[in-house]
């Protein structure tokens, strides 16, 4: 089973229209006309249009960082899946630890968003990961299992193979403290086995599992060489053309 590597840049709440365009342009130019690796840029919602202007007709895909799980209506300040596909998104990051921590998003919210994403033809990138306290208390597998079961609640087998999961240990996000390749691979293997139990081994073999948390050009190659690591969700290093392209080239 070969899974196409997927490298996504989570720009978080950074950039302005000019810098968003020039970052996207630098990446598009470096990726070229075809790419073995799937490259996804996830700018702030305000700059999705600026980025899709640059990526249109190229292999570089665009994703959103969140969505609201409802049809059009009275939801001030929110964006739904239809709007995101309409402006050219193919992916959406869901349940990022910053949203779980800062906006109180729970697994049940992530699950609603997952179903809304799939109904709107977006590929969800579902983020899970333990805090440092949970890792030190030996709770990593239990935490990740309950996040995955909760976030994928109600997902049917037919659609499960198409989703992306991002394992992002909270203690590694934005800290410069990357998980070792052994630590990351162990959790990725655990997630794949869990998916095999929740769905089928065949589905589990198709789901792409990204690692996220302080991925840089200097550590990406050894992480991506692990058998169950199928890509990276990159924060800080996705804001510089050279760093992000360096990771893609790994």
Catalytic residue at 157? no
> If residue 17 lies in a helix (H) or strand (E), which one and from where to where?
helix 17-31
Q: What is the CA radius of gyration of the chain?
A: 17
CA dist 190 and 192 (Å) reads: 5
Catalytic residue at 168? yes
Nearer to ligand PGA, 184 or 203 (CB): 184
Residue nearest to ligand PGA (CB): 235
Length of the chain: 250
- The helix/strand/coil state of 123 is strand
CA dist 235 and 247 (Å) reads: 12
> If residue 8 lies in a helix (H) or strand (E), which one and from where to where?
strand 6-10
The distance of closest approach from Cβ of residue 13 to ligand PGA in the complex, given in angstroms and rounded to an integer, is: 12
Burial 93-123 (b: 16+ CB within 10 A, else e): bbbbbbbbeeeebebebbbbbbbbbbebebb
Nearer to ligand PGA, 120 or 231 (CB): 231
Q: Which of 130, 168, 185, 188 is an active site residue?
A: 168
The distance of closest approach from Cβ of residue 22 to ligand PGA in the complex, given in angstroms and rounded to an integer, is: 20
Q: Which of 38, 61, 96, 188 is an active site residue?
A: 96
Nearer to ligand PGA, 120 or 235 (CB): 235
CA dist 161 and 134 (Å) reads: 28
H-type alpha helices, 132-237:
132-136, 140-151, 157-160, 181-198, 201-206, 217-224
> If residue 62 lies in a helix (H) or strand (E), which one and from where to where?
strand 61-64
The distance of closest approach from Cβ of residue 107 to ligand PGA in the complex, given in angstroms and rounded to an integer, is: 18
The distance of closest approach from Cβ of residue 7 to ligand PGA in the complex, given in angstroms and rounded to an integer, is: 12
Nearer to ligand PGA, 174 or 218 (CB): 174
Nearer to ligand PGA, 93 or 114 (CB): 93
Do 214 and 234 touch, CB atoms closer than 8 A? Answer: no
Question: What residue ranges bind ligand PGA (CB under 6 A)?
Answer: 10, 168, 173-174, 212-215, 233-237
Do 27 and 249 touch, CB atoms closer than 8 A? Answer: no
Nearer to ligand PGA, 8 or 194 (CB): 8
The distance of closest approach from Cβ of residue 75 to ligand PGA in the complex, given in angstroms and rounded to an integer, is: 26
The distance of closest approach from Cβ of residue 211 to ligand PGA in the complex, given in angstroms and rounded to an integer, is: 10
List active site positions.
96, 168
């Amino acid at each position: 089973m070969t899974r196409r590597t997927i490298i996504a840049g989570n720009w978080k709440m950074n950039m302005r229209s000019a810098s968003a365009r020039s970052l996207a342009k630098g990446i598009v130019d470096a990726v070229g006309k075809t790419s073995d690796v799937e490259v996804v840029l996830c700018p702030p919602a305000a700059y999705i249009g600026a980025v899709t202007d640059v990526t249109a007709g190229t292999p570089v895909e665009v994703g959103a960082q969140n969505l609201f799980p409802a049809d059009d209506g009275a939801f001030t300040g929110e964006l739904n899946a239809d709007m995101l596909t309409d402006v050219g998104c193919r992916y959406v990051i869901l349940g990022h630890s910053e949203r779980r921590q800062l906006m109180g998003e729970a697994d049940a919210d992530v699950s609603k968003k997952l179903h809304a994403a799939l109904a709107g033809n977006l590929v969800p990138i579902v983020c899970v990961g333990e805090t440092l306290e949970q890792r030190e208390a030996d709770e990593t597998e239990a935490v990740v299992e309950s996040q995955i079961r909760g976030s994928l609640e109600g997902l049917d087998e037919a659609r499960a193979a198409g989703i992306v999961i991002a394992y992002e240990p909270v203690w590694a996000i934005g800290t410069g403290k990357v998980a070792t390749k052994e630590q990351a691979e162990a959790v990725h293997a655990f997630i794949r086995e869990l998916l095999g139990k929740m769905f089928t081994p065949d589905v589990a073999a198709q789901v792409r599992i990204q690692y996220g948390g302080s991925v840089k050009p200097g550590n990406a190659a050894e992480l991506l060489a692990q058998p169950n690591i199928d890509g990276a969700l990159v924060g800080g290093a996705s804001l510089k053309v050279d760093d992000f392209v360096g990771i893609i080239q790994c």
